[in-house]
Amino acid sequence: MSTTATNPLPNASFPVRRMDFNFAETKKYWWSDDPFLTQFMNNLSSLFPYGEKFFVDSVRAIRDQISDPQLKKDISAFIGQEAMHSKEHATYNEYATAHGIDLERLEQRVRVLLEWVTRLTTKKHRLAITCALEHFTATMAQQLLEREDLTTQIDDPKMYKLWLWHAIEENEHKAVCYDAYQAIGGGYFTRVILMLLTTLIFFAVIGWFQIHLLRKDGQLFNWRSWKRGLATLLGPRNGFFTRLIGPYLAYYRPGFHPLDHETKALENNWRQRLGFSS
């Protein structure tokens, strides 16, 4: 695996890092030997190849309407980062295929869903949907960067680097789509209605994919793993999603901005830990 940080636009606010992972050696249950939680991460990964392509297409479609020179550069860097995430989460399939986990099928379902969304919406709607999903990725990523109790459960060094690299970059570029949405005159009502619809569809999809992955893996009735997984995700005090309720609801404030959730020190700390030069 090699990493080089390059910045194709010197004045963008964040770099585009070229990554080249190889997951051929990764063991099946790389999250603390746990089927539910490993499949949950596989579930999330299956959303990225086409999900992040959708983000790139949404932003690219309105790029010529943006006049602010800094935002234009940041849009190009955003496209570079998301395209790299999409590529590396497609590479993730090497691991999945080696263990008989059919993530490609789930990715194709995401592709079909997003093709429908594209047919039914305007450019501004798609940008609002991207803003909603970027808020999900940024807040989930922030929590991952803050939760040593979770990241120490990742048993594989390549998976560790993939998820934490992605988490850093989701925070580096979290304001780009939102700023672009506001710059093209995107309003509050459309933003929050589409957040509501996106939330419903997002949780329906990951619920469906989770059942599918566990069933295909012969783990659907592994109650011990379910118990641990549900406690990790939905536990009353420390559940991953439970702790996201506050940051999620913040999105519905009329004056919300992604940079309200300050993560610069956290990003810096993790850039050093992962050995990134910038």
Least distance from Fe ion to the Cβ atom of residue 230, Å: 26
How many residues in the shown chain lie near Fe ion by CB under 5 A? 4
Comparison of 7 and 219: residue with beta carbon closer to Fe ion: 7
**Would you state the structure tokens that stand for residue 54, as one six-digit string?**
């959708």
Q: What's the min distance (Å) between Cβ of 223 and Fe ion?
A: 33
Based on CB atoms, which residue is closest to Fe ion, 36 or 165? 165
Stretch that binds Fe ion, among 98-106, 137-145, 206-214, 226-234 (CB under 5 A): 137-145
**Nearest distance in Å: CB 7, Fe ion:** 17
85 binds Fe ion (CB under 5 A): yes
Nearest to Fe ion of 134, 217 (CB atom): 134
Question: Residue 107 Cβ, how far from Fe ion at the closest point, in Å?
Answer: 15
Which among 82-90, 118-126, 180-188, 259-267 is the span making contact with Fe ion, rule CB under 5 A?
Answer: 82-90
The two three-digit tokens of residue 255, written as one number: 């004056």
At 76, list the tokens.
């190009």
Q: Describe the crossing of helices 35-60 and 103-120 by its angle, rounded to 10 degrees.
A: 30
Q: Which residue lies nearer to Fe ion by CB, 85 or 158?
A: 85
- Is residue 257 a contact partner of residue 191, using CB atoms and an 8 Å limit? no
Specify the residue, 85 or 125, whose C-beta has the smaller distance to Fe ion. 85
Residue type, 263: T
Q: Does 135 bind Fe ion (CB under 5 A)?
A: no
Nearest distance, CB of residue 79 and Fe ion, angstroms: 10
Residues 240-269 binding Fe ion (CB under 5 A) are: none
Nearer to Fe ion, 137 or 142 (CB): 137
Q: How far is the CB of 45 from Fe ion (least distance, A)?
A: 11
Backbone Cα Rg of the chain: 18
Helices (H), 122-187: 123-146, 148-151, 157-172, 176-183
Q: In the 3-class helix/strand/coil scheme, how is 227-263 assigned residue by residue? A: HHHHHHHHCCCCCCCHHHHHHHHHCCCCCCCHHHCCC
Question: Which pair of tokens denotes residue 92?
Answer: 């993730």
Q: 4 - beta bridge partners? A: 18
Residue nearest to Fe ion (CB): 85
Three-class DSSP category at 16? strand
Q: How many CA atoms lie within 13 A of 131 on its CB side?
A: 31
Binding-site string for Fe ion from residue 171 to residue 200, where x marks contact by CB under 5 A and - marks none? ------------------------------
- DSSP secondary structure letter of residue 107: H
Neighbours of 272 (CB within 10 A): 10
Q: Are 57 and 171 in contact (CB under 8 A)?
A: no
Q: Which stretch binds Fe ion (CB under 5 A): 24-32, 132-140, 261-269, 270-278?
A: 132-140
| Residues in 154-173 at the binding interface with Fe ion, rule: CB under 5 A | 170
Q: Which residues bind Fe ion (CB under 5 A)?
A: 85, 134, 137, 170
